[in-house]
Amino acid sequence: MKKFYPERVLIEKEALEYPLGKKLENKFLADDMAIEYIKSHNRVSPQKQMSPLQLFKWAKETLVIGVKKTLRFKSCQPSADYRLVTTTSCPGKCEYCYLSTNLGSAVYPRVYVNLTEILKAVKKHIRKAKGEMVTFEASSSSDPIAVEHLTGTLKETIEYFAKQAKGRLRVVTKFAFVDELLDLEHNGHTKFRFSINPPWIIKNFEHNTSSLEERIKAAVKIEKAKYPLGFIIAPLIIYHDWKKDYTNLLATLKDNLANTTPLTFELIQYRFSTRAKKLIEARFPKTKLKLDKEDYHHQGFGKYIYPEEKATKLKSFMEKEIKTHFPQAKIEYFV
């Protein structure tokens, strides 16, 4: 797939005080892009009234360049100690993306130009832990690989973490654009996890993202570059061919990877909320996602997961298959 190039660019005026803000402005001006200058990256909307469907399309084609103001990081359990936010949202259009739900109309991809300040805040959070190892999740609010070709931010972040004795970076992606990251001095301090699913799921629900084949090729490159590597299988969906497809998925991974380092797997079952259901149905009127609340277990607060019996079946099937294909792998969690 092609790398993201926006239809329109909006720049927060303050972002122009930073070298990356200026560099991006110059790049898009040179490309004859009509740039809109805005006061805040948090309040962006189109000039005219749009339906939810049109608004979603508009937002995903827009790039917003801003300054990250909140430098006190939130917790990011179960994946890491803290969220490290250098970008928000992404150009992908995954139907079940929880970010797309949480962000509502502010689902446009945003990149932050004050990386030096963000990394200073990382240092503060490491110091606060008084010698304990601290982990930071770079993908809690976005897919940073999707916009890396524009910013180079992840590259700098990986190099920064390579020098941290007590800080580790974790990245998750559904994109395959890792070539610029392969020769970096990472010191094994950044762990990549590829978010994968059988091709039927990617084709039907993960629009504007890399194919499974592309993701696996990228994972092989990351493994060769000696980064710690893992996979997130999410969301795990029970559908007509799920058993056969998940077995094939793990077999394909096994065939392609050299399997020189112990892999990790994170497993997240399909879920939705009342708010997500409303937004998914408005943005993807022909969705094949199953969203009938009565077929699911209500966890409270409008959140739905598979009934216990189905969830247990899914968990034990995946654990058995992972153990068969990757006996040394560690399953970090199933939620």
Beta carbon nearer to ligand SF4, 142 or 151? 142
Beta carbon nearer to ligand SF4, 134 or 216? 216
Beta carbon nearer to ligand SF4, 110 or 325? 110
C-beta atoms surrounding 228 within 10 Å: 19
Q: How far is the CB of 216 from ligand SF4 (least distance, A)?
A: 16
Beta carbon nearer to ligand SF4, 107 or 134? 107
What the block records as the tokens of 309 is: 């019996």
Exposed, middle or buried: residue 284 (CB in 10 Å: 0-12, 13-18, 19+)?
middle
Using CA atoms, how far residue 316 sits from 151, 311, 333, 334, 335, in Å, is 41, 9, 12, 10, 13
Q: How far is the CB of 284 from ligand SF4 (least distance, A)?
A: 12
Q: How far is the CB of 32 from ligand SF4 (least distance, A)?
A: 28
Beta carbon nearer to ligand SF4, 134 or 267? 267
Q: How far is the CB of 97 from ligand SF4 (least distance, A)?
A: 3
Distance CA 71, CA 119 (A): 9
Distance CA 78, CA 84 (A): 14
Q: Where are the beta strands (DSSP E) in 221-294?
A: 229-236, 264-269, 271-273
State whether residue 68 is helix, strand or coil. coil
Distance CA 132, CA 73 (A): 17
Q: How far is the CB of 308 from ligand SF4 (least distance, A)?
A: 26
Beta carbon nearer to ligand SF4, 109 or 228? 109
Q: How far is the CB of 51 from ligand SF4 (least distance, A)?
A: 20
Q: How far is the CB of 198 from ligand SF4 (least distance, A)?
A: 16
| Phi and psi, residue 330, nearest 5° | -110, 130
What the block records as the tokens of 253 is: 């991974």
Beta carbon nearer to ligand SF4, 100 or 247? 100
Q: How far is the CB of 123 from ligand SF4 (least distance, A)?
A: 27
Distance CA 8, CA 28 (A): 9
Beta carbon nearer to ligand SF4, 97 or 126? 97
Q: What is the dihedral of CA 43, 143, 62, 34, to 10 degrees?
A: 110
258 residue type, one letter: A
| Helix (H), strand (E) at residue 35 | strand 35-38
Give the footprint of ligand SF4 on this chain (CB under 6 A). Answer: 90, 92, 94, 97, 99-100, 142-143, 174, 209
